[in-house]
Amino acid sequence: MPVTGQRVVRRALGRRLTRLRVATGKSRREVAEAKLGISEPTLHRIETGKVPVTVANVRALCWLYGVDESVANALSDLALGTSQEEWWDANPSIPDWFKLYVGLEASAAAIRTYEGEVVPGELQTEQYARAIYGAEKVEGDATERHVKLRLQRQAALAARYPKPKLVTVLGEGVLTRQVGGPAVLAAQVEHLCKLAAQGHIEIRVLPWTAGAHAAMAGAFRILDFDDPEDPDVVYLESHVGAVYLEEPDEVQEYRRIFDLVCEASVPIADFRGMDRHD
């Protein structure tokens, strides 16, 4: 079974409890006034997946919402998973906003990525990753800690069964920018070609000759989930945080953009075989 992680379980449980509350026509304030020992702010944090949830609180909410025992049992099992830590949860080197992404990545059935500037972290070689973090001029041993975490994340993703489908579109500049120097870049490109030979990984290149394209606003990721209770997510990252989009129309718009850049791109093996000096 795929790894989930406490943050993913919290999101799933929060959505289920929210739907049950809404189905009864109750507001959060009305739940808080029911004397269950759950305040309105606490209920908000539970429903938005921000805190661990006790079995006692789940049982109390299920009683208030009038759900049957089988549903209460299933939700109680989920509650147990809201406190179970994965390797990334207790690591102080990983910011909280990225821990959510790692948890989502650990259970996504498919990950589609557009990147015009840098090789995505899950596809980087160790030396390429070291050059990327070194360019940020971080102090002390931060670069080595980040590289170690990146390799740990790669190993966790590679160990998953079933393996997630990875589809990545890279701008041509990613394959030409001399990150770490010519030797490091050449090794990175060779690594990408080897990865692309695996059945669950597809790597494509958007050539300069494509001109203007649909994804010029920047990099993004789309994470798809098999569980219909877990909505697909678009992930947008900055240096200081991230945005997670779950609204169906937002996700669909990013799917449309990704499909357009896919159509304009070529498999990395074909790209390397082109005469790009014409």
DSSP 29-70: HHHHTT-SS--HHHHHHHHTT-S---HHHHHHHHHHHT--HH
78 against 167, higher pLDDT: 167
Cα 23 from chain centre: 30
Q: Can you name the residues that pair with 206 across neighbouring β-strands? A: 171
Residue 239 lies in a domain: yes
User: What is the DSSP secondary structure assignment for residue 266, as one 8-state letter?
Assistant: E
DSSP string, 156-213: HHHT-SSPPEEEEEEEGGGGTS-TT-HHHHHHHHHHHHHHHTSTTEEEEEE-GGG-S-
**Window from 15-24, 239-248, 251-260 with minimum mean pLDDT:** 239-248
CA angle 114, 115, 118 (to 5 degrees): 160
Do residues 139 and 249 share a domain? Answer: yes
Do residues 174 and 46 share a domain? Answer: no
pTM over 0.75, yes/no: yes
**Window from 72-76, 140-144, 262-266 with minimum mean pLDDT:** 140-144
Do residues 115 and 248 share a domain? Answer: yes
| Chain segment 130-188, per-residue pLDDT in tens | 999 999 887 778 888 889 989 998 998 888 888 999 999 999 999 999 999 999 999 99
Whether 278 has a pLDDT exceeding 50, the answer reads no
Do residues 33 and 139 share a domain? Answer: no
Residue 194 lies in a domain: yes
Structural domain total, the chain:
2
Residue 236 burial class via C-beta count within 10 angstroms: exposed 0-12, middle 13-18, buried 19 and up: middle
226 against 224, higher pLDDT: 224
Span 101-130, average pLDDT: 93
CATH at residue 27: 1.10.260.40
Give the range of the structural domain holding residue 54, as residue numbers without chain letter.
6-81
Q: Can you name the residues that pair with 244 across neighbouring β-strands? A: 235
Do residues 30 and 156 share a domain? Answer: no
Residue 183 lies in a domain: yes
CATH at residue 200: 3.30.870
Cα atoms in the 13 Å half-sphere on the side-chain side of 187? 12
Residue 77 lies in a domain: yes
Do residues 217 and 253 share a domain? Answer: yes
| Torsion angles phi and psi, residue 85, rounded to 5 | -85, 140
Span 230-237, average pLDDT: 90
